[in-house]
Chains A and B, each alone.
Chain A
Amino acid sequence: MKGYFVIIASALFFWGCQPKPNGGDLVKNLVVTTDHDKSIDFTKYTSYYIPVDTISYFNNSDNNPADTLQCTGCSGNNNGGDYPMVITSEVKSQMDLAGFTQVGKKQNPDLRVYVFIVETVNLYQSYNYNPYGYGFGYGYGYGYGYGYPTVSETDQADLYLEIFDVKNLTNGKPTLIWYCDIGDLVSSPDVFGLTTKAIDQAYKQSSYLKKQ
Chain B
Amino acid sequence: MISVMVSISIISANAQYYLDRSKNPDKNAGKISAPKSGRDFDKFFFLSWDNNSPLSNKDFVSQASSLGTKLGYRKRLNDEDKLWVGGDFGWAVYKQYVPVQTYTTGTQSTTTDLYNYAYTYSLSLNLDYFFLPMEKIITPYAGLGIGAAYDKFAQYYNIYGSDDTSWGFLVRPEVGILVGFKENSAWRIKAAFHYDYSTNTSTNFGYKNFTSTGFQVGLVKMAW
The interface of chain A, by Cβ under 8 A from chain B, is: 3-4, 6-7, 10-11, 14-15, 17-21, 25-38, 156, 183-184, 187, 201, 205-206
Contacts and interface: CB of A to CB of B under 8 A. Distances in A.
B17 interface: no
B69 interface: yes
A21 to B, nearest CB: 4
Most buried by A among B69, B109, B119: B109
A34 B158 contact: no
B117 interface: yes
Contacts of A10: 47, 69, 71, 89
A33 B110 contact: yes
B89 A29 contact: no
Interface of B: 45, 47, 67, 69, 71-73, 89, 91, 93, 95, 97, 100, 102, 104, 107-113, 115, 117, 119, 121, 152, 154, 156-160, 221, 223
A3 B111 CA distance: 50
Given A31-B110, A184-B158, A3 B221 contact: yes
Given A31-B112, A33-B109, A14 B91 contact: yes
Given A3-B73, A26-B159, A205 B109 contact: yes
A187 B117 contact: no
Residue in A11, A15, A36 whose Cβ sees the most chain B Cβ within 10 Å = A11
Contacts of B117: 18, 20-21
Contacts of B159: 26-27, 156, 183-184, 187
Contacts of A35: 107-109
Nearest to B119: A18
A209 to B, nearest CB: 11
B73 to A, nearest CB: 6
Given A14-B91, A21-B97, A26-B156, 13 more contacts: A4-B73, A7-B45, A10-B69, A10-B71, A10-B89, A14-B121, A27-B158, A29-B100, A30-B158, A31-B157, A33-B109, A183-B159, A205-B104
B29 to A, nearest CB: 31
A11 B93 contact: no
Q: What DSSP secondary structure best describes chain B's contact surface?
A: strand
- Main SS of the interface on chain A? mixed
B91 A15 contact: yes
A205 B89 contact: no
Given A3-B223, A7-B45, A10-B47, A29 B113 contact: yes
Contacts of A29: 100, 112-113, 158
Given A34-B109, A206-B109, A7 B89 contact: yes
Most buried by A among B45, B71, B93: B71
Nearest to A205: B109
B158 A31 contact: yes
Nearest to B45: A3
A31 B160 contact: yes
Nearest to A22: B115
A34 B102 CA distance: 11
Contacts of B93: 17-19
19 contacts: A3-B221, A7-B71, A10-B47, A11-B71, A11-B91, A14-B71, A18-B117, A19-B67, A21-B115, A21-B156, A26-B157, A28-B113, A30-B158, A32-B112, A33-B108, A33-B109, A35-B107, A35-B108, A205-B104
A10 B218 CA distance: 14
Nearest to B121: A15
